[in-house]
Amino acid sequence: MSNNRYGASIDVPAWREQPRPATGAELMAQNAYRPWPARITSIKELTAHEKLFEFRLIDDRLRDAFHHEPGQFVEVSVFGVGEVPISITSSPTKQGFIELCIRRTGAVTEVLHEMQCGDIVGLRGPFGRGFPVDKMRGNDILVVAGGLGIAPVRSLINYIHDERADFGKVTIVYGSRTPSDIMFRDQFEMWRHRRDFDLHLTVDHPDDDWDGAVGVVTEPMKTLDINPRNTYGAVCGPPVMYRFVVAQMRRMGISYDRIYMSFERHMKCGMGKCGHCQIGHQYVCIDGPVFNYWEAKNIQGSI
């Protein structure tokens, strides 16, 4: 933004005009509202409503500058339709590519679901505060997710998977409405056969082939044997789920500040300004989306 004698001007130049030697971090900092072009490199159908997209930022400077924590999100643009906040579902250990699990549920995601490999979208971010992986290191991890809530915690699970020696016992509880709504089935199959992941799947409404547990996620949680002093909880799911899961974790003896949860809100700007994602005095986009239970208890209207 340049200054003339008294006034100023606003410039948002096209991408190809961006002068080198600006670094990726400098480009991003110039104008955080500005999405950068990213190409779809892979699309995988997960369920009838959800697809797993893999994106690659086209500009290598931005690609090198893009680092995220599990639990952070990006804003995805389809120009002319709009922009949506989507949590990153790939691990930070997977560099150069960004995976997003996208449910077909609105105008922008409708268009995204029609897109093909090679198509270009706009990406900006990453935004927000993710799961505290540095604090979690060396501890046992209890992940509880429901429905699409698996997307942000999958980033954490995959990170633990890649840095497995750094973490203790890992327990994953995942609840879906029906067996056909279970996302990342092949990955769950893989985790199921690893002895160092304790996996519990449950569904609300079983079909004829389902031989697993039936009921809400708190049911399998009751059977778990965990060491509360050495365990971090990570929770994400539909709004109604939090109160019950957190209460169960408290009953298991996990401290308020060791239970981390990711909140869903409509983060429109991602920078603590537009107000749409506010809960009480906190902005989910910059103060969250991951909060611990102590913080959440101190936000009026959070759970």
Contact mark string toward other proteins, 91..110, x via CB under 8 A: ------------x-xx--x-
Of 22, 23, 25, 33, the one binding other proteins (CB under 8 A) is: 33
Which residues are bridge partners to 85 per DSSP? 75
Based on the shown chain and the rule CB under 8 A, indicate whether residue 10 belongs to the binding site for other proteins.
yes
When computed from its CA atoms, the radius of gyration of the chain, rounded to whole angstroms, is 20
Which is nearest to 176 in space by CA: 144, 131, 209, 141? 144
**Judged by CB under 8 A, does residue 165 bind other proteins?**
no
Out of 8, 134, 207, 225, point to the residue binding other proteins (CB under 8 A).
8
Q: What are phi and psi of 149, to 5 degrees?
A: -60, -15
3-state secondary structure of 297: helix
> Residue 106 CB, nearest distance to other proteins (Å)?
5
CB within 8 Å of 251: residues ≥ 6 apart: none
User: 277 Cβ partners below 8 Å, 6+ apart?
Assistant: 265, 266, 267, 268, 283, 284, 285
Q: Binding of other proteins at residue 32 (CB under 8 A)?
A: yes
Residue 89 near residue 155, CB atoms below 8 Å: yes
- 55 and 142 Cβ atoms separated by less than 8 Å: no
Q: From the list 96, 212, 215, 275, which residue makes contact with other proteins (rule: CB under 8 A)?
A: 275
Choose the binding region for other proteins from 5-13, 165-173, 193-201, 203-211 (rule: CB under 8 A): 5-13
Q: Could you tell me whether strands 140-146 and 231-236 are parallel, antiparallel, or unpaired per DSSP bridges?
A: parallel
Least CB distance from residue 153 to other proteins, whole Å? 18
What is the per-residue burial (b if ≥16 Cβ within 10 Å, else e) of 237-257?
beeebbebbbebbeebebbee
Number of residues that bind other proteins (CB under 8 A): 58
Site membership for other proteins, residue 30 (CB under 8 A): yes
Question: Considering the rule CB under 8 A, would residue 239 count as an interface residue with other proteins?
Answer: yes
CB-nearer residue toward other proteins: 141 or 267: 267
| Distance of closest approach, residue 62 Cβ to other proteins, in angstroms | 13
Q: Does 278 bind other proteins (CB under 8 A)?
A: yes
Handedness of CA 189, 190, 195, 199 (dihedral sign): negative
**Cα–chain center distance at 36:** 20
Q: Are 184 and 150 in contact (CB under 8 A)?
A: yes
Of 90-98, 160-168, 185-193, 259-267, which part binds other proteins (CB under 8 A)?
Answer: 259-267
Regarding 300 and contact with other proteins (CB under 8 A), the answer is yes
Is residue 20 close enough to count as binding other proteins by CB under 8 A?
Answer: no
d(CA 251, CA 254): 7
59 in contact with other proteins (CB under 8 A): no
- 128 or 220: CB nearest other proteins: 128
Which span (59-67, 133-141, 151-159, 279-287) binds other proteins, by CB under 8 A? Answer: 279-287
Burial class (CB in 10 A: 0-12, 13-18, 19+), 206: middle
Q: Which residues bind other proteins (CB under 8 A)?
A: 1, 3-15, 17, 30-35, 37, 77-84, 103, 105-106, 109, 119-122, 239, 264-266, 268-269, 271-276, 278-282, 286, 300-301
